[in-house]
Amino acid sequence: MEEKNIRIYRCSDDEVGVFSAIYEAGISGYGHKYIRIQPQSDRYMYSMELFAEYVDVESSEKKMNAVLSAVKEKISNEVYEYVMKAIVSDDSRRGDIIYQFITYGFTIGEKVIMAVQFQEVSDMFTLVRSVQNEAHRYIEILRFKEVVHKPPLLLAVIEPKNDIAAHIANHFADRFNNEWFIIYDARHHKAVFHDVSGRWEVRLLTRDEEEKICELHETKEEYSELWRVFFDSIAIKERENKKLQMENLPIEYRKNMTEFIV
C-alpha cells in the first residue's frame, strides 16, 4: 500500500472549528491514519512536521451540524453524548481522538463504545473521564457569593481546566431554579446566566463584560444597577431563543447526564 505524507487540518480552538476540521478530514478520502486535527491556541505547542501537508480550515456551523447529525443518525445518541463531553476537553489531541473514534464508529456502529481494546476508543474514554471528573468536582465545591441583595444575585467564579460550564449549568439551574445567578469561567472567558424563570444560557464574554463581572464580584451593592442592566442586555432576551438553549446543551444530552448528579 502506498504511504502518504501526514495531512494536518488546522482549525480554531472551539467546537465549531474542531468539528469543521473533522468534517473536512472525513470527506477528503485521504485516509484516516494519515490525518491529524490541530486546534490552534496559545495553550498548545506544535512542532512543524517535515513533509506534512497543512490545511487551514474555515469554521462552519453547517459542517459542525453535519458531523453531529451523522453521529446521532449513523452511530447512536450515546456516542453523540460521549463526543459532546470530549469536545470540551483541554487536551490538544481531542480533535484527533474524536475524529478517529467516530470514524471507527461509522464502521462498526453503536458497538464502538464497547471496543475499549482499541486505542481510539480507550483514548476517547480518557477524555470523557477527565471532563466528567472535573464537572463532579466543581458541582461539589462551587460556592455562590451574594453580590447584590435586592433583588439577590448570586455569583460564582471558576477556573476549570476543561470547558465544563455548560456541563454543570443544568445541575445548578435545578438547584437554584428561582434565583438569578452567574457562573463565571475566568479561564475560558464565558459565563452561565440564569434568571428567576429558570432559563439559562452559556455565552462567551467580551473584555468589557468580564470587567463588569469582576466589578460585581469585588464591589457588590455599588453595582446593583449595573448588573441589572448588564444581565438584561446580554442574557435574558437571547435566552428566549429555545433553539440557542438547545444548542448550548441538547435536551437529550442533559436528561441523560446522570453521572453529573450529586
Quick one: 51 exposed, middle or buried, by C-beta within 10 A (0-12, 13-18, 19+)? exposed
At a CB cut-off of 8 Å and minimum separation 6, what does 131 contact? 85, 86, 88, 89, 162, 164, 167
State pLDDT tens for residues 42-66: 888 888 888 999 999 999 999 999 9
Cell representation of residue 81: 453524548
Point out which residues pair with 35 in neighbouring strands: 7
**End-to-end CA gap in the chain:** 52
pLDDT in tens, the chain (262 residues): 567 899 999 999 999 999 999 999 999 989 999 999 999 988 888 888 889 999 999 999 999 999 999 999 999 999 999 999 999 999 999 999 999 999 999 999 999 999 989 999 999 999 999 999 999 999 999 999 888 777 788 999 999 999 999 999 999 999 999 999 999 999 999 999 998 888 898 989 989 888 888 887 776 554 555 556 656 655 545 555 555 545 554 443 343 232 333 3
CA atoms lying within 13 Å on the CB side of residue 15: 21
The amino acid at residue 112 is: V
Per-residue confidence (pLDDT) for residue 149, from 0 to 100 = 73
pLDDT, one tens digit per residue, over 214-246 is 887 776 554 555 556 656 655 545 555 555 545
Which amino acid is present at 121?
V
Whether 175 and 196 have beta carbons less than 8 Å apart is answered as: no
Rounded Cα gap, residues 94 and 87, in angstroms:
7
Q: What is the pTM of this model?
A: 0.80
